[in-house]
Structure 1
Amino acid sequence: MLNPEECVLVVVDVQGRLARVVQQSERLHQKLDALVKGLQLFDIPILWLEQLPDKLGSTSEELAQVLTRSCNPINKQHFSAWQANDFRAKLSDMPQKQVILVGIETHICVYQTCMDLLENGYETHLVIDATSSREEANRLCGIQMMLACGAKQTNVESLLFELQQQATGDRFKALLRLIK
């Protein structure tokens, strides 16, 4: 089970024109919005990545507005976030060992980041409805590859209620508003 004190969210490259042309882009943005806002209710730290933003563009404006409440973007040039020194240093300095992984593209940057996280001892939870690729077949292949290597599969709603554990309180009411 996920434990809020042991979790960190990693948001991979939801930026530029690519963020608008991936499969079900609008739905992806809705799920990411709910997830980020939900995790902020638990005070879960967030590491937000951008792949070559000067060339590929910045994070989608609506997602960036939500993320800037908790963090600033980390630039990277490698497909895997682990290869970015700033990311690796920040994550390594955190006590959290459960990584909640989301972003685009599922079969490239999310996949390679996941592989490095698993190799370095992080329990990695792939939020499948908060990932996407330009082609659905590539997204599905990326998910299968990560699961075969030990990543755990979840979705936004299951994850938020797993963290919440009880159907009472103000946070539960706030979570209900986010997913409806």
Structure 2
Amino acid sequence: MKFNFTKLNSKTTAFFLCDIQDKFRPAMPLFDSLIKNTSKLLKMGKALEVPLFVTEQYPEKLGRTPKELDISHACVLAAKTQFSMLVPELECKLQEVYTENKLTDVVIFGIEAHVCVEQTVLDLLNQDIRVHVVADCCCSRAKQDRRTALNLMRHLGGMITTSESICFNLLGNKNNPKFNAIRDLVKAVSEDMSEK
């Protein structure tokens, strides 16, 4: 699907945090950078009042969302066994949150890029929702899986972007009243997720 690019609006945008869990830490070569970048993105989203939706894949075995990530403002924290984030609990909460304004855009980030993130992106695109995949907040165990997934999601119509780009897209203008809340967050350069 091909979408016309439009600026993000916090009232019609959702942040999807996909399965960033403690048990993945030893297996993910980019996990520490992912955590730092995701923490910054979550703080930006909270300051800009973008609703956050979080899933955990089979948390009984794979653990919970790391304590370094503040998800206290999440609209929902849904456990799941299917790979796509679009489980009934999350979809129900989406309908509840987006009654006045229609959901048009999802900013997605998490683990693993080629499994749960990719399958969620496919489901969202099939619902005609614009999807922004935050490359510096996505990883897989194998670098080639991450790289291939990002290429595939771009090819299918997902917009591959970065956490800082999302932030400035949502702000739109230096004179945005939320700019001061964000300024210190963007001073620190995001961790490099390039594959060495």
* TM-score (structure 1 length as normaliser): 0.92
Please state if 1:79 is matched with 2:83: yes
The whole-number CA distance in structure 2 between the counterparts of 1:88 and 1:69 is 17
The whole-number CA distance in structure 1 between the counterparts of 2:23 and 2:74 is 24
Aligned partners of 2:41 and 2:163 also within 8 Å:
yes
The residue number in structure 2 matching 1:69 is: 73
User: For residue 38 of structure 1, what is the amino acid of its counterpart?
Assistant: M
Aligned partners of 1:125 and 1:153 also within 8 Å:
yes
Q: Which of these residues, 91, 104, 107, is aligned with residue 88 of structure 1?
A: 91
Alignment of 1:22-171 (within 5 A): 22-63=28-69, 66-82=70-86, 84-93=87-96, 94=98, 95-168=102-175, 171=178
1:7: how far off?
A: 0.5
Structure 2 segments unaligned to the other structure (5+ residues): 1-6, 189-196
1:21: how far off?
A: 2.8
The whole-number CA distance in structure 2 between the counterparts of 1:164 and 1:178 is 13
Aligned partners of 2:140 and 2:146 also within 8 Å:
yes
The whole-number CA distance in structure 2 between the counterparts of 1:87 and 1:73 is 8
The residue number in structure 2 matching 1:173 is: 180
| Comparing 89-98 and 128-137, the one that deviates more | 89-98
Aligned partners of 2:53 and 2:74 also within 8 Å:
no
Aligned CA-pair RMSD: 1.5
Tell me the SS of whatever aligns to 1:127: strand
The residue number in structure 1 matching 2:3 is: none
Structure 1 segments unaligned to the other structure (5+ residues): none
1:170: how far off?
A: 5.6
Tell me the SS of whatever aligns to 1:75: strand
Alignment of 1:1-20 (within 5 A): 1-20=7-26
* TM-score (structure 2 length as normaliser): 0.85
List per-residue Cα deviations over 1:88-119 (Å, max 9, x = no partner): 22224423221000000000000001001111
Aligned partners of 1:125 and 1:154 also within 8 Å:
yes
Aligned partners of 1:49 and 1:74 also within 8 Å:
yes
User: For residue 27 of structure 2, what is the amino acid of its counterpart?
Assistant: V
List per-residue Cα deviations over 1:104-140 (Å, max 9, x = no partner): 0000000001001111121111111110111111101
| Comparing 123-132 and 164-173, the one that deviates more | 164-173
Aligned partners of 2:75 and 2:93 also within 8 Å:
no
Tell me the SS of whatever aligns to 1:2: coil
Aligned partners of 1:40 and 1:70 also within 8 Å:
no
Tell me the SS of whatever aligns to 2:65: coil
Runs of 4+ in 1 over 6 A off after TM superposition: none
